[in-house]
Structure 1
Amino acid sequence: MLNDQHLWSVGLFAYAGLTDLLDGYIARRWNKRTVVGTIIDPMADKTLMTILTVCLAIKGGLPVSAIYYRWISLPEPKTFSRYWDFSLPSAEVRPTTISKYNTALQLLLVGLATANPVIPADISSVLSVLHYVVATTTIWSGASYIYTKDAVKLLHQTSKDGKSQ
């Protein structure tokens, strides 16, 4: 992406998307879900989206505000180290419906922005509308994890006396 290798970028993005779909299908079809998988899979999705968003912003393919909207949609506290601290997987996260739509829309936006240099038609107006739609669904998705009762299940709770329940 950063070296203007657009066909490679599109190909690798498609590969990542297809393998993610296949992984999810296998986990659901043969009931191979794990607690670690419920954390790592969405984290990998967000990592891909974050890296591509930053690269597209650097290359002018997405407005810098896309990075801002992604950041404000993260739940508190908003620290890079806390977000990626794997010693904290004390919860099982169940994707909300809006988060699934949001991921699909993010993939569509990043995919179109990645493919834009090799698409012969002008899709700038489509991308502009999609920027606002994705910003809205990203915020909505973040809020859904905060306000949906069963989206996050604590695996280990500590009681008031400090003992694990």
Structure 2
Amino acid sequence: MKPRDIPNLITGLRILLVAPFLWLLLKEHYGAALVLFVVAGISDALDGFLAKYYGWTSELGGILDPIADKLLLLGAILALGWLHELPGWLVMLVLVRDALIVGGAIGYHFLIARFQAAPLMISKLNTLLQLTLVLVIVANHGIMPLPTWLLETLIGLTTLTTVWSGVAYVWRWGHDAWRQHHHPSDRPPPSS
């Protein structure tokens, strides 16, 4: 193993944390689940720092890192929905948005042009709010009760940014597809 493989190793370990985290969450062991969630967050920051600071980036890391993040976050949202800690409609909204983005990315890649993953700022904000919402709900049960208004505000902001980011991706890819169709000279060369 080379030093440049360390970020991918950390990401792999984060993926392995998902199953025990979800198990603890579903068993309502919120304190232990919170510890694993924080460890996963620290590992995400650490592998990102190492990859950027030392230039230890790789194509594999570019694929594994968002998969690890999505497994943890989506798993947590599904588990909290199952436990009735999150409203079912919000869980469905998050699932529909993610399915729309994945389906749109695949469709764009195969029908329009090679897809380059470049998250929009609203999508980054949405991910941050989803993470914060999960953290607050788990902390609410695992450490100390938090004010109801905080949970309600986070649910509202998460809902808003989930819809906004979904619409923003549809708009962006739809606009790019329209431009590619009406101005084929703008089309990037096919990848070899």
TM-score bucket (shorter structure): 0.7 to 0.9
Partner of 2:137: 113
State the structure with more CA Rg.
2
Asked if residue 42 in structure 1 is aligned to residue 66 in structure 2, the reply is yes
Q: CA deviation at 1:78?
A: 6.7
Deviations 1:73-116 (A, max 9, x none): 1254877xx8xxxxxxx644123222222221111100011111
Separation in 2, partners of 1:116, 1:73: 26
Which one of 56, 59, 76 corresponds to residue 83 of structure 2?
A: 59
Cα distance change, pair 26–147 in 1 and its aligned pair in 2 (3 A): farther
Q: Does the 8 Å contact 1:38/1:94 carry over to 2?
A: no
Q: How far apart are 1:140 and its partner, in Å? A: 2.5
Q: Counterpart of 2:150?
A: 126
Residues 1:91 and 1:27: Cα distance change in structure 2 (over 3 Å): farther
**Identity score, percent:** 31
Contact 2:31 2:143 in 1 (8 A): no
Once residues 98 and 78 of structure 1 are traced to their aligned partners in structure 2, the CA distance between those partners, rounded to angstroms, is: 16
- Unaligned segments of structure 2, at least 5 residues: 1-24, 107-113, 174-189
Counterpart of 1:157 in structure 2 is none
Q: Does the 8 A contact of 1:53 with 1:67 survive in 2? A: yes
Partners of 2:40 and 2:171 in 1: how far apart? Answer: 30
Residue 140 of structure 2 aligns to which amino acid in structure 1?
N
Matched, 1:102 2:126: yes
Q: Which runs of 5+ in 1 are unaligned?
A: 83-89, 150-162
Change (3 A) 1:113 1:144: same
C-alpha distance 65-145 of structure 1, shift in aligned 2 (>3 A): same
Supply the distance in 2 between the matched residues of 1:36 and 1:14 (Cα, whole angstroms). Answer: 24
Alpha carbons 1:39, 1:92 under 8 Å: kept? no
The match for 2:18 is: none
Amino acid corresponding to residue 22 of structure 1 in structure 2: L
TM-score by length of 2: 0.64
**8 Å CA contact retained: 1:105, 1:134:** yes
3-state SS, counterpart of residue 32 of structure 1: coil
Q: 1:33 maps to what in 2?
A: 57
TM (norm. structure 1) is: 0.73
RCO higher in structure (CA 8 A, sep ≥6):
1
